[in-house]
Structure 1
Amino acid sequence: MSSSKLNKSRRSMLILLAVFIIPIVLAKLALNQQWFNYGVTNQGQLIENELTLAQLGLSIDDFDHQWLMLYTLPTRCDEQCENTLVSVNNTYIALGKEMPRVKLVGLTQQDLRAEQAEKIQLNRWHIQTMPALAKVAITQSQVLIVDPLGNVILSHVPPKNAEQLPKFGKAILADFKKLLKYSRIG
């Protein structure tokens, strides 16, 4: 074999190896050096410790094994709480054709006033007093997404100012639509 053919053959072999090895090396470096953000698709905070409706003192049978949009109201429902209540109600309505798969639940520490009930469509809500176990497990007002099996999956903490409420509602809606799209239960 001539020297030029041998060099050409070696060059071809090196190029072929480089085409296969360089992407693997770059991928490994990107993974180890954390060059990219890992894929987070949820908008809310994922519940890491197992939390179920039973641990909150609630029974899944009361909710017909549906997805739950569970809003835990603060001790005293002020104007911000009322705005959050309306935002959660509007988010539920924005679910559209998926509304029958989801049940709105409000856990209150005191009864809703008449003007608060007027702001939402109370017939769509399942309002109940917060059980003692829930008061221990849930320390702040939040919207919880609960699957039909009674597992609390995501938590969304309401914003402190009214300007952030549309973004808050959109985050809940995005999470719910994604969960309902991929879920075969409920």
Structure 2
Amino acid sequence: MNLQDPRLVLAAIVLLFAGPLVVAVTLHSERWGFRPDQLRNEGHLVQPPVPIDLVRQPPQPDPSGRWAVLYPLPSECATACWQDLAALGRLHRALGRRQQEVEIVLLDAAGLPAGERTELARGFGRFTLATTASGDMATALDRVTPPGVAIAAGAPTRGGAFIIDPGGNIILSYAPGFDPGHIKKDLQRLLH
């Protein structure tokens, strides 16, 4: 093999520059399904984002500029509901210095009994209780519920959780039985 052969030198140069390009195009193509972890959400991306108009109770100062984690409360808060609320409380504390940039909003679309409202205020006073301005939350939740999640007919809320951007749009949804670590991971990406 003669290294002075111009054809070999030309082939080596083409391989040197074209090889990485071929590898990059191959990895980027949808055919291989390669997605680095830092580019993948844990929640289901809502496309297009669904606007939601929340009425906070009691009225709050302008919440614009803050991210929110929305948790639709069921008509009666059973054990799973209280576990989710405790997990959301831990999630909020785990955000550390970023806590001020994220609020936890409990959506009371079904109208909680007064006793449960009092218990919520006592145990989760840092959470914000809200309803929707339009009152048509079921339609909005139908549009953002992750694929493959079965919804009971006539259920006023859908379970799970949602991330709302500072503009008031639902951008990510999480199925019932969500892992709070997934929400934290997505929030940390969004806040940086």
Does TM-score exceed 0.5, indicating one fold? yes
Judging changes above 3 Å, is the alpha-carbon distance between structure 1 residues 173 and 28 closer, same or farther for their aligned structure 2 residues?
A: closer
User: Which residue of 2 is the match for residue 110 of structure 1?
Assistant: 111
In the alignment, is residue 127 of structure 1 matched against residue 129 of structure 2?
yes
Aligned pair 1:24/2:17, yes or no? no
Residues 107 and 129, structure 2, Cα contact 8 Å, conserved in 1: yes
Distance of aligned partners of 1:84 and 1:33 in 2 relative to their CA distance in 1, 3 Å threshold = closer
Residue 176 (structure 1) aligns with: 187
What code does the residue aligned with 2:63 have? D
Provide the C-alpha distance between the structure 2 equivalents of 1:104 and 1:134, rounded to a whole number of angstroms.
17
Question: Does the C-alpha gap of structure 1 residues 48 and 114 become closer, same or farther in structure 2, counting only changes over 3 Å?
Answer: closer
1:86 is the counterpart of 2:86: yes
Match of 1:15 among 1, 8, 12: 12
Question: What is the letter of the counterpart of residue 94 of structure 2?
Answer: A
1:137 to 126, 140, 153: 140
TM-score (norm 2): 0.72
Structure 1 position 74 matched with structure 2 position 74: yes
Task: Report % sequence identity.
Answer: 23
Q: Which runs of 5+ in 2 are unaligned?
A: 143-157
- From the two aligned structures, give the one with the greater helix fraction: 1
Give, in angstroms, the shift of residue 117 of structure 1. Answer: 2.2
CA distance in 1, matches of 2:51, 2:117: 31
9-18 or 65-74: bigger deviation: 9-18
User: How many residue pairs are counted as aligned between the two chains?
Assistant: 167
Amino acid aligned to 2:40: T
Task: Provide the aligned C-alpha RMSD in A.
Answer: 2.9
CA drift at 1:20: 2.1
SS at match of 2:49: coil
TM-score (norm 1): 0.74
Partner of 2:95: 95
Larger Rg: 1
**Residues of 2 paired with 1:116 and 1:93: CA distance?**
20
Q: Partner amino acid for 1:49?
A: P
Instruction: Name the CA shift for 1:129/1:143 in 2 (closer, same or farther; >3 Å).
Output: same
Gaps of 5+ in 1: 160-164, 182-186
Instruction: Please give the secondary structure, in 1, of the residue aligned with 2:5.
Output: helix
- Decide whether the 8 Å contact of 2:55 with 2:130 is kept in 1: no
Q: For 1:50 and 1:30, how far apart are their aligned partners in 2?
A: 28
SS at match of 1:111: coil
